[in-house]
Chains A and B, each alone.
Chain A
């Protein structure tokens, strides 16, 4: 008998007899599946947050804020400053009109659906050009707000996460009461957590005079960014800083994504160590219950190497089942799950959906197989070294 056939036969035998050890095998499978679920779920949370922040930036858009301001919350621009921005070269123009939206950004309190406690919801004052700047945004329910009135449209994620944002309901912000007239979508980005209203009405409601916080500008082409930026930053009257919209949101997501990933990896690796121990125990138990069988195999001429491989294969098989089970559960339970958290840079809520990507599932499965391999190693060596005579006498 060749080595390969030997290995094949013994491996098949040990895999076929798994049902006889259903109890302890199930323990190993469930243990590994649990680790994979936690691993995939935590990382999919980080991925979802990352997606929401990164899909917000289009390559041909630039965000203009006050020099030195790191976020819209702390930025401030006067009316004349925004006029200068709208004259910059490289800006996309529709006839005479500059396609840029001078905006104001405030935070209002709305109850979160999941906890019924107040949450900081961002409210953005926009200009009529907004939909030409943000081409991905569209009204999906109700209608667009009428400029000049105290009407608002709510992002789809905001309407899902917070109470009182259905079409027809009213919200309080500044010294005004606003009516929700529509729901908008914006490609699943962070903008969907916002409420949008007429910036001039919002200025009045907050006694802000003719001041804004940022200008979101659409450029002719993504390459026009440099000339746009240089013209503005070299203009002493403007006193503004310019950055690509994508960079702005990417910078805001760094801290939280890193925190979630670090915690996720730490918890998952600690759990992984626990699961490896569980796998070792299971395989030892499997080897112990089969010791007479293994000794018989050895006695009739099967070599130690094939016994070693068969135990490893069993361990890997259990790990693969655990990995697949865990991945499937994580996908079914968490993919697309909507939640929201605090963006500490702007002190406002960001709604996002957990994203269980194929890459994450592959990582989870790889992790499971690693656990199976490490867990099977020691018991495999033990099985291969079983002294035939005493093992035959056991049990």
Chain B
């Protein structure tokens, strides 16, 4: 500890160099934070998906509807806790480029199954009282400036009303918040309203969500559902919700590996830069280090001093970078609600801290060993 001032002094021996090293590492970890956030956004909250929730979809494709009658049949299977269904409405608000998910569902069972969604009880009551009521995510509401009580016109693309028109209207009765990482851009309205008002698609729903009592039995439960509907006109394919979201995210493309590749390139370059700078710093101080050794500093102490220097730079600069990235993410999604989730996962922050230490140690290792091996006589003569 008492050598801290010495480390501090050698750091500021060349101010400009240290400042630019810090800036380089700062940028690298700022990038790290941003890239990890993008990766999390494109994994669509897969970390949050419950293993005790199964998705039952049409075997051919998720866009094929399933009969509503499957609900009662699924309920009879032992081990099933709740069964509810969702129906993709494909609604458009003003312009197709304002894309967000519009889903018809059963409010009570659905919210019961998703404790990560938080809706104030009075808004829930209002929703149950109003058939045309709709509940939207916090991010979606702020994206369009919607307030409770607004009447929202939505153009249907799949379903027509009884009068044959594609114009639908909903009353905004609630705005939900949710756990971090859960999509807060969705538009939920009541299935009974859709079913009563639609002209086409009678008795058909999009897919089922089944909550089972024992998540360790998810594989066999899934198989038993699919077996139950085998050879019917609408065969099913059941996966865990996690598997489903994961598969969907993979359809968009392997954003995760792209981000990892970019990061690897960035960190490798930073390692080179910092390592090179440290080597230069040690070369310049050859005679000073020799004097320290002559004064009786052990090899190990010299090694620690140089390593402490590079570690200090890496951790301070990396910490700043990650901190700024975190602040930037707290500030909200810059695309205005285009990305379903915008957060920097805690696990990635921990990985980042580990990486800082690794960069610091690796970059300092070579110069530190060189410094440690210095022969006092040679080094002093060089000067």
Is the pair A34, B265 in contact by a Cβ cutoff of 8 Å? yes
Q: How far is the CA of A73 from the CA of B38 in the complex (A)?
A: 29
Known: A27-B272, A109-B60. A274 touches B27 (CB 8 A): yes
Q: How far is the CA of A348 from the CA of B156 in the complex (A)?
A: 19
User: Which of B99, B250, B265 contacts A38 (CB under 8 A)?
Assistant: B265
Identify which of residues 344-367 in chain A touch chain B, using a CB-to-CB cut-off of 8 Å. Answer: 344-345, 347, 349
Is the pair A271, B31 in contact by a Cβ cutoff of 8 Å? yes
Is the pair A340, B17 in contact by a Cβ cutoff of 8 Å? no
Which residues of A have CB within 8 Å of B27? 270-271, 273-274, 277
Which residues of A have CB within 8 Å of B273? 27, 31, 277-278, 281-282
Identify which of residues 103-137 in chain A touch chain B, using a CB-to-CB cut-off of 8 Å. Answer: 106-109, 112, 114-115, 117-120
**Is A17 in the interface zone, CB < 8 Å from B?**
no
Is the pair B276, A27 in contact by a Cβ cutoff of 8 Å? yes
Q: How far is the CA of A109 from the CA of B23 in the complex (A)?
A: 48
Q: How far is the CA of A102 from the CA of B63 in the complex (A)?
A: 21
Which residues of B have CB within 8 Å of A344? 99
Which residues of B have CB within 8 Å of A37? 265
Please name the residue on chain A nearest to B272 by beta carbon. A27
Is the pair A270, B34 in contact by a Cβ cutoff of 8 Å? yes
Identify which of residues 338-356 in chain B touch chain A, using a CB-to-CB cut-off of 8 Å. Answer: 338
Is the pair A347, B24 in contact by a Cβ cutoff of 8 Å? no
**Contact count band on B:** 35 or more
User: Which of A27, A172, A267, A347 contacts B35 (CB under 8 A)?
Assistant: A267
Which residues of B have CB within 8 Å of A274? 24, 27-28, 31, 266, 269-270
Is the pair A263, B61 in contact by a Cβ cutoff of 8 Å? no
Is the pair A34, B269 in contact by a Cβ cutoff of 8 Å? yes
Known: A270-B27, A347-B63. A277 touches B20 (CB 8 A): yes
User: Which of A108, A289, A341, A395 contacts B61 (CB under 8 A)?
Assistant: A108
**Is A50 in the interface zone, CB < 8 Å from B?**
no
Central interface residue in B246, B270, B273, by most chain A CB within 10 Å: B273
| Chain B positions 201 through 244: 1 when the CB is less than 8 Å from some CB of chain A, otherwise 0 | 00000000000000000000000000000000100010000000
Which residues of B have CB within 8 Å of A95? none
Q: How far is the CA of A34 from the CA of B254 in the complex (A)?
A: 20
Q: How far is the CA of A112 from the CA of B21 in the complex (A)?
A: 44
Which residues of B have CB within 8 Å of A30? 269, 272
Which residues of B have CB within 8 Å of A349? 251
Which residues of A have CB within 8 Å of B97? 254-255
**Is B279 in the interface zone, CB < 8 Å from A?**
yes
| Chain A positions 145 through 163: 1 when the CB is less than 8 Å from some CB of chain B, otherwise 0 | 0000000000000000000
Minimal beta-carbon separation of A115 from chain B (angstroms): 4
**Is B253 in the interface zone, CB < 8 Å from A?**
yes
Interface size on A, residues (CB 8 A): 58
| Chain A positions 257 through 271: 1 when the CB is less than 8 Å from some CB of chain B, otherwise 0 | 001000100110011
Which residues of B have CB within 8 Å of A395? 284
**Is A235 in the interface zone, CB < 8 Å from B?**
no
Which residues of A have CB within 8 Å of B54? none
**Is A242 in the interface zone, CB < 8 Å from B?**
no
Known: A107-B63, A117-B247, A342-B251. A31 touches B269 (CB 8 A): yes
Which residues of B have CB within 8 Å of A68? 155, 166
Which residues of B have CB within 8 Å of A273? 27
Q: How far is the CA of A108 from the CA of B60 in the complex (A)?
A: 6
Minimal beta-carbon separation of B328 from chain A (angstroms): 11
Please name the residue on chain B nearest to A262 by beta carbon. B335
**Is A304 in the interface zone, CB < 8 Å from B?**
no
Is the pair B279, A281 in contact by a Cβ cutoff of 8 Å? no
Identify which of residues 1-48 in chain A touch chain B, using a CB-to-CB cut-off of 8 Å. Answer: 23-24, 26-27, 30-31, 34, 37-38
Minimal beta-carbon separation of A287 from chain B (angstroms): 11
Identify which of residues 265-289 in chain B touch chain A, using a CB-to-CB cut-off of 8 Å. Answer: 265-266, 268-270, 272-273, 276-277, 279-280, 284
Identify which of residues 42-63 in chain B touch chain A, using a CB-to-CB cut-off of 8 Å. Answer: 59-63
**Is A74 in the interface zone, CB < 8 Å from B?**
yes
Q: How far is the CA of A270 from the CA of B253 in the complex (A)?
A: 23
Q: How far is the CA of A289 from the CA of B280 in the complex (A)?
A: 9
**Is A69 in the interface zone, CB < 8 Å from B?**
yes
Is the pair B99, A24 in contact by a Cβ cutoff of 8 Å? no
Is the pair A278, B269 in contact by a Cβ cutoff of 8 Å? yes
User: Which of B17, B38, B63, B262 contacts A284 (CB under 8 A)?
Assistant: B17
Is the pair A284, B20 in contact by a Cβ cutoff of 8 Å? yes
**Is B260 in the interface zone, CB < 8 Å from A?**
no
Q: How far is the CA of A115 from the CA of B246 in the complex (A)?
A: 11
Q: How far is the CA of A280 from the CA of B338 in the complex (A)?
A: 37
Minimal beta-carbon separation of B309 from chain A (angstroms): 16
User: Which of A38, A263, A278, A342 contacts B252 (CB under 8 A)?
Assistant: A342
* A to B CB contacts below 8 Å, 13 in the list: A31-B273, A68-B166, A108-B61, A117-B251, A120-B61, A174-B60, A255-B97, A255-B99, A263-B38, A270-B27, A281-B20, A285-B17, A395-B284
> 7 tightest A-B contacts by CB?
A74-B157, A274-B27, A117-B247, A277-B24, A341-B253, A115-B250, A278-B273
Interface residues of chain A, those whose CB is within 8 Å of chain B, are 23-24, 26-27, 30-31, 34, 37-38, 68-70, 73-74, 106-109, 112, 114-115, 117-120, 172-175, 254-255, 259, 263, 266-267, 270-271, 273-275, 277-278, 280-282, 284-285, 288-289, 339-342, 344-345, 347, 349, 395
* 15 additional contacts (CB under 8 A) given A34-B266, A74-B157, A109-B237: A30-B269, A106-B61, A108-B60, A108-B61, A115-B254, A117-B247, A117-B250, A120-B61, A172-B59, A172-B60, A173-B60, A271-B27, A273-B27, A278-B24, A341-B252
